[in-house]
Amino acid sequence: MNIIVQFLILNHFLGTKYTLWGIGVLNDLLQGHKWTESGHFPRVTFCDVVIRELGNINRKTVQCVLMINMFNEKIFIAIWFWLLIIGTLTLINLIYWSVISFVPQFSRDFIGHSLVSAFSNKIKQQTKSFLLINVIPNPFSSLLFC
C-alpha cells in the first residue's frame, strides 16, 4: 500500500502524461528518442543576460542549459525503478507468506523446519558448553581428591 501511494505522489509531483512515468521514459529510450527530445525536465531554456560594453547596457536573450535538471531526471528515474523493485519484492513476499499461512501442508513444513533448525542449534550450543566445561581442568579438582 505504501509503495502505491509513493508512486501516486511521485507521478503527481512530476505531472507527466504517463501514469507510469518510469515505463514511459524507458519506452522513449527503447524507441530511440534522445534524452533531449523525451525529457520531462526542461534542459534548455532562454535566459536574459545583461552585458555591459563601454558604459552601455545590452540585454541579450540566450539559450541556457539547466544541468541540474539533467541530474534531477536521472535521480527520479533511479527512485522510480527502486520503488518498482521494492514493490515487486514486497508483492512476492506477501504471496509467499500468504501461501505459508493459509495452505496447511506448507504451514506444517515451515514450522517443522523451523523447529528442527532451532532445536539443532540449541543442541549444538549445549554440546559446546558441555565439552568446554569438561575439557577445561578444574583448579579445585586436586583439592577434592587429596
pLDDT tens, position by position, 61-119:
888 888 888 888 888 888 888 988 998 999 999 998 888 888 888 777 877 777 776 66
Whether the model pTM is above 0.75: no
Using the predicted structure, report yes or no on whether residue 42 has a pLDDT greater than 70.
yes
* Rounded Cα gap, residues 7 and 16, in angstroms: 13
Three-class DSSP category at 53: strand
* Cα torsion through 52, 55, 59, 64, rounded to 10: 0
